[in-house]
């Protein structure tokens, strides 16, 4: 079976094509891996054992320190596929819903939150595409107020995961999903923006007119510098509830937006010179 983007959006007709903003999730919007952070709630719910919790904690540490390459992402895909086989879908969704605010909101980068708001204010669709499961990605997207959130989709039969992956939102598959969304939502990719931390998302960055590396791994940082792409380093994970009020949080958001605007303006000028 080949990966293909889910057909979850109706075709948009009669509208002028305009740019959108595509975001990776982990280490781009969130300071942690969205999938791995649910290890303890899944353990408490009886879905995984103690060894899986320890393995997830180690994987989280490695991911935060060095990122993940293609081989590690493939290993993670196979591990998670085997791990969730037989899980009741309703139980997974209930656990995510009950623990989402406590786990996710404190690790949202305030700079990313401000950047999302700036794109929405400019009239662009904001779309998250993440290799994490859609049961995690979609609720996070809803909390952030984005227009669409796509994650890896597992086959479901009789209310349980079979372990079969229908769509793995990773690498070239992300780019293919973006192409299909560009068609269905009348998006001009040349006028679009993309943000990610990993060199494995290079196809995603190369597809848009305005690619930006956010908290990049060493390989992506090297590529971004070589290609003169903007590089942003986010440092302020703050709960969304607190990031929306208070002078310190507002100042951080303004500073993030200023840095983003300068980087994009510089990159656009450099493109015109070539």
- Catalytically active residues are 24, 26
For the stretch 207-214, contacts whose Cβ atoms lie closer than 8 Å and that sit 24 or more positions apart, written own/partner, are 207/175, 207/178, 207/179, 208/22, 208/178, 209/19, 209/271, 210/19, 210/264, 210/267, 210/268, 212/260, 212/263, 212/264, 212/267, 214/24, 214/27, 214/28, 214/112
How distant is the alpha carbon of residue 165 from its chain centre?
A: 18
> CA 193 to CA 35: how far, in whole Å?
25
> CA 143 to CA 163: how far, in whole Å?
27
How distant is the alpha carbon of residue 198 from its chain centre?
A: 11
**39 touches 58 (CB < 8 A):** no
**203 touches 169 (CB < 8 A):** no
Structure tokens at 241: 């509830």
- Share of the chain residues as helix, strand and coil, in percent rounded to the nearest 5: 55, 20, 30
The residues with which 165 forms a beta bridge, in sequence order, are: 154
Please provide the DSSP assignment of 162-179 as one string: EEEEEE--STHHHHHHHH
């Amino acid at each position: 079976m080949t990966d293909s983007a889910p057909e979850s959006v109706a075709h948009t007709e009669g509208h002028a094509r305009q740019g959108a903003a595509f975001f990776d999730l982990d280490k781009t919007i969130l300071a942690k891996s969205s999938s791995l952070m649910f290890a303890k709630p899944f353990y408490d719910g009886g879905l995984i054992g103690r060894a899986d919790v320890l393995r997830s904690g180690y994987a989280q540490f490695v991911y935060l320190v060095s990122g993940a390459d293609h081989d590690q992402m493939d290993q993670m895909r196979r591990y998670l596929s085997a791990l969730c086989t037989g899980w009741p879908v309703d139980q997974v969704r209930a656990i995510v819903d009950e623990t989402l605010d406590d786990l996710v909101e404190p690790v949202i980068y305030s700079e990313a939150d401000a950047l999302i708001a700036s794109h929405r204010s400019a009239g662009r669709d904001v779309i998250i595409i993440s290799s994490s499961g859609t049961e995690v990605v979609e609720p996070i997207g809803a909390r952030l107020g984005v227009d669409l959130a796509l994650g890896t989709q597992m086959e479901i039969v009789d209310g349980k995961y079979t372990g079969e992956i229908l769509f793995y939102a990773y690498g070239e598959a992300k780019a293919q999903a973006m192409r299909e969304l560009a068609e269905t939502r009348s998006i001009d990719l040349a006028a679009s923006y993309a943000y990610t931390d990993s060199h494995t998302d290079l196809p995603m960055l190369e597809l848009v007119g305005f690619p930006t590396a956010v908290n990049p791994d060493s390989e992506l940082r090297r590529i971004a510098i070589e290609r003169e792409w903007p590089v942003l380093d986010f440092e302020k994970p703050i709960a969304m509830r607190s990031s929306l009020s208070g002078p310190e949080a507002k100042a951080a958001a303004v500073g993030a937006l200023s840095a983003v605007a300068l980087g994009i303006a510089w990159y656009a000028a450099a493109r015109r010179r070539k």
